Amino acid sequence: IRLRKPDDFAGLALDMHLGSPATALRVDARIVELADGSELPFDGMVIATGATPRRLPNQPEFDGVVELRTLANSIALRDRIADGAARVTVIGAGFIGLEVAATARQRGCAVTVLEGAPAPLMRGLGARMGTAVASVHTRHGVDLRCGVGVAGIEGDGQRVTGVRLADGSLVASDVVVVGVGVAPHTTGTEAAWPLRRARSCRQDRSRSCRHTGTSRTTGAFQFRWSIAISLGFRCKPCSMTKAQV
């Protein structure tokens, strides 16, 4: 899916470097090093490297265990559920997991969704809306199990055969879709990129900034941890720099 046609970039005056990934970031010098040996100076930096699907601990490489990130992943999953005969188990009741569950159920597949939280979509929609979404899926025949733990994925040495739950029971499966969130895509360059959790500036209920001790009248603020670079990002209540790298 193209968000812009190639010609649309011509008028943006972009200096694009394609096919040569960044390998290191020298913050003090404000320089990015590329794989081809060249260096790019910068005044401000945005790191937008995307995300990679999270994997389960000790997740096996059995045929039939599927993650969704690329078009190829989607096509492969479509082929596995096309005839409606597969027993599909989805681990994770987030947006991707529930979309897969709905599509597979419409194809006629037997679908089980496993979720550790009390309701699906808890993080994005909250418990009330999550419960409403759950009722829609169960009405359409999805076996939605919330509040369950996954002990592991089992197979016969080549193909997946099921998902073992924390209570010892087994959910027999022909296809297992792992949809347990994403992690920042760093392409193995963690050591070369000096990133770390940003320091947090919080104001408590007395509206006193933890860093300056001064009271504010703008209400309570809480800056949750994030990955950041010290390029002038500052805490608005106390003007404290969020990250020192």
Each as own residue / partner, the long-range contacts of residues 71-76 (CB below 8 Å, 24 or more positions apart, any chain) are none
pLDDT reported for residue 24: 85
pLDDT for position 194 = 55
- The beta strand positions in 71-133, using DSSP E, are 87-91, 110-115
Residue 206 is predicted with a pLDDT of: 38
Q: Bridge-partner residues for 58, per DSSP?
A: none
Q: How confident is the model at residue 238, as a pLDDT?
A: 41
3-state helix vs strand vs coil in the chain, percent to 5:
20, 30, 55
Residue 1: predicted pLDDT: 58
Q: Which residue has the tokens 């470097």?
A: 17
Contact call for residues 120 and 98 (beta carbons, < 8 A): yes
Q: Quick one: pLDDT at residue 8?
A: 80
E strands, 97-142, are 110-115
Amino acid at 20: S
Q: How far apart are CA 245 and CA 230, in angstroms?
A: 6
The token pair that represents 190 in the structure block = 């963690």
**Mean per-residue pLDDT pooled into runs of 10, the chain (245 residues):** 74 84 87 91 86 89 92 94 96 94 96 96 90 95 96 95 97 96 69 46 39 35 32 38 34
> What is the per-residue pLDDT for 99?
94
| pTM exceeds 0.95 for this model | no
Closest CA to 51 of 194, 197, 176, 227: 227
Cα separation of the two ends of the chain: 36
